[in-house]
DNA sequence: ACGGCTCACATTGTCAACAATCGACTGTCT
DNA sequence: AGACAGTCGATTGTTGACAATGTGAGCCGT
């Protein structure tokens, strides 16, 4: 730890970063570890162990964990422990139903303002996603798909909406990562996203709406089958 | 402070509360102080002072503040300070547009399941709100109106939606409180909410949708006028 | 007088030790 | 044998002190 801590000189005119704090770095690292699957759902996070691992004290670590709790990735019970959240069938169903609503809202916000930059950005991200799928790189596909959808939210400029998407994205990624590890190749098929982008660039809002609904419904059904199977297996094992 | 801290005896069989921590209590207290207007928007929150005031150390207080930051009530810049957020015209516009979407989504979720309990609960909360308005009790009106709308969200049982509403409610209440202090009597007029509840209990979903849109549009317009005036005044004063 | 620099202060970030609580284990009593 | 109380270890909650950083006041040179 404490690598670039002594940089007294760099007045650095253009960087408005007020000297990064540990908490942010730790939160990012922890989040990555969770979403990457290095820490499995249900696993307990022990503060002292993690603090050692990150080379910091428990103070900053606790704040980072609290941030992840607010993001819905961790769940804490006082004096007992903090665990990585395990998503249920209902949880995933909620995420997908919410996405339908939010994403349609996002397109409502931006519909009249879909300029050239937006169209190019959307196509670029679809191409990136397609490349990842063709390369059968699941981890990259997940990130690429999140960036495709995230681009739509960002384009709205609606800070509250973006904030809400951020609060959902973590859980969605958590689920996708688990699905990916369990099933190998995951959901995103080429044609589905091609159609999605095509509709997003068309002038028929109603068709886009139903495309989004279908898009999510496909993903949702897939997830439900997977999760129901997992829950059934878990139920058959534990009691 | 420090009243019920030493309760060693109370084994308290029926309470499943695992011994309340300070952090939660402080977060509630701080939130109340902010929403109540005891701490004005823009004011800086100094950790040491607040810690003394609450009778705790800076550790728990920092975590409570971080929670309020995640709720969007505070904004922090490292090594410099943490301030109560001041909402702009755009912020309020975003809140209202988001509410339209979320509330329509909420009714979609619950539409087919509007049983007797739901209807009675809705009417009861409308009556409570009406009573507060008739009594010209602004502070109570705000709470009552939040409970009326909150009841709809709760009724969906959609945890993610409720969570999202929670993340918006704080900012909405913050704005309403500021509006209330500046303008005296605030927005909620009787007939507006009567119509809202009437539509919510009817069987015409489309009409409800437009009623919600109008309902919010009225509120939004009102807020914009107020905020634009405030910003204009501020702009005329500071530079 | 004005711009840049130094320095002290206020505030936040971090740390290591201490206290409180929970869960499980164990030993005893019925 | 089974149930219950007490105890022990592990983990989180809390604290006060120390370090790093940003900000503004005051000084100096021009």
B57: nt with nearest C1' to CA: D15
CA to C1' distance (Å), from B80 to D26: 22
The DSSP line for A17-72 is: -----HHHHHHHHHHHHHHHTSS-TT-EE-HHHHHHHHTS-HHHHHHHHHHHHHTT
CA to C1' distance (Å), from B70 to C20: 28
Q: Is A64 on the interface with B (CB under 8 A)?
A: no
Task: With CB atoms and an 8 Å threshold, state whether B163 touches A70.
Answer: no
Please report the pLDDT score of residue A12 as a whole number: 35
Which segment of A7-21, A33-47, A206-220, B191-205 scores lowest on mean pLDDT? A7-21
Mean pLDDT, all residues of chain A: 85
Residue of A nearest to B172 (CA): A160
Please report the pLDDT score of residue B184 as a whole number: 67
The architecture that CATH gives domain A22-84 is Orthogonal Bundle (1.10)
Residue numbers 9-48 of B with CB closer than 7 A to any atom of strand D: 21-23
Whether the Cβ atoms of residue B68 and residue B39 lie closer than 8 Å to each other: no
Q: Within chain A, how many helices (H) and strands (E) appear?
A: 9, 3
Task: With CB atoms and an 8 Å threshold, state whether A160 touches B98.
Answer: yes
Residues in a beta bridge with A82: A45, A76
A15-63 pLDDT per residue, tens = 455 678 899 999 999 999 999 889 999 999 999 999 999 999 999 999 9
Whether the Cβ atoms of residue A67 and residue B66 lie closer than 8 Å to each other: yes
Q: Is B77 on the interface with A (CB under 8 A)?
A: yes
Reply yes or no on domain B89-234 having CATH 1.20.120.530: yes
Please report the pLDDT score of residue A236 as a whole number: 57
Which option is the CATH number for A89-237: 1.20.120.530, 3.90.1150.10, 1.10.275.10, 1.10.3720.10? 1.20.120.530
Q: Do domains A22-84 and A89-237 have the same CATH topology?
A: no
- A206: Cβ contacts below 8 Å, ≥ 6 apart: none
CA to C1' distance (Å), from B68 to C3: 42
Task: With CB atoms and an 8 Å threshold, state whether B91 touches A160.
Answer: yes
Q: Is A16 on the interface with B (CB under 8 A)?
A: no
How far apart are alpha carbons B229 and B225 in whole angstroms?
A: 6
A127-148 pLDDT per residue, tens = 999 999 888 888 899 999 999 9
Task: With CB atoms and an 8 Å threshold, state whether B79 touches A19.
Answer: yes
Residue numbers 162-201 of A with CB closer than 7 A to any atom of strand D: none
Please report the pLDDT score of residue B214 as a whole number: 86
Task: With CB atoms and an 8 Å threshold, state whether B77 touches A102.
Answer: no
CA to C1' distance (Å), from A11 to D27: 22
B51: nt with nearest C1' to CA: D15
Please report the pLDDT score of residue A10 as a whole number: 35
Say if residue A203's pLDDT is above 60: yes
Please report the pLDDT score of residue A11 as a whole number: 36
Mean pLDDT throughout B190-197? 85
- How is chain A split into domains, by residue range? 22-84, 89-237
Q: Which helix (H) or strand (E) holds B58?
A: helix B58-70
Name the band, by pLDDT with cuts 50, 70 and 90, for residue B73.
very high
Residues in a beta bridge with B45: B82
């Amino acid at each position: 730890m404490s690598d670039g801590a002594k940089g007294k000189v760099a007045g650095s005119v253009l960087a408005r970063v007020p000297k990064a704090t540990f908490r942010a770095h730790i939160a990012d690292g922890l989040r990555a570890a969770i979403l990457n699957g290095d820490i499995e759902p249900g696993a307990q996070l022990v503060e002292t162990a993690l603090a050692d691992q990150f080379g910091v004290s428990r103070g900053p670590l606790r704040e980072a964990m609290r941030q992840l709790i607010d993001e819905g990735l961790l769940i804490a019970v006082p004096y007992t422990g903090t665990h990585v959240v395990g998503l249920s069938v209902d949880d995933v169903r909620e995420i997908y139903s919410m996405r339908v609503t939010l994403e349609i809202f996002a397109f409502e916000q931006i519909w009249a303002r879909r300029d050239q930059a937006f169209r190019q950005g959307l196509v670029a991200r679809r191409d990136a996603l397609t490349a990842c799928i063709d390369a059968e790189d699941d981890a990259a596909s997940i990130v690429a798909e999140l960036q495709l959808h995230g681009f739509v939210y960002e384009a709205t400029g609606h800070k509250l909406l973006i904030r809400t998407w951020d609060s959902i994205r973590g859980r969605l990624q958590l689920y996708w990562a688990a699905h990916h590890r369990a099933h190998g190749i995951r959901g995103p098929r080429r044609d589905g996203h091609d159609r999605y982008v095509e509709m997003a660039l068309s002038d028929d809002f109603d068709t886009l709406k139903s495309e989004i609904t279908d898009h999510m419904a496909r993903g949702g059904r897939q997830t439900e089958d997977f999760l129901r199977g997992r829950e059934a297996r878990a139920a058959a094992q534990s009691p």
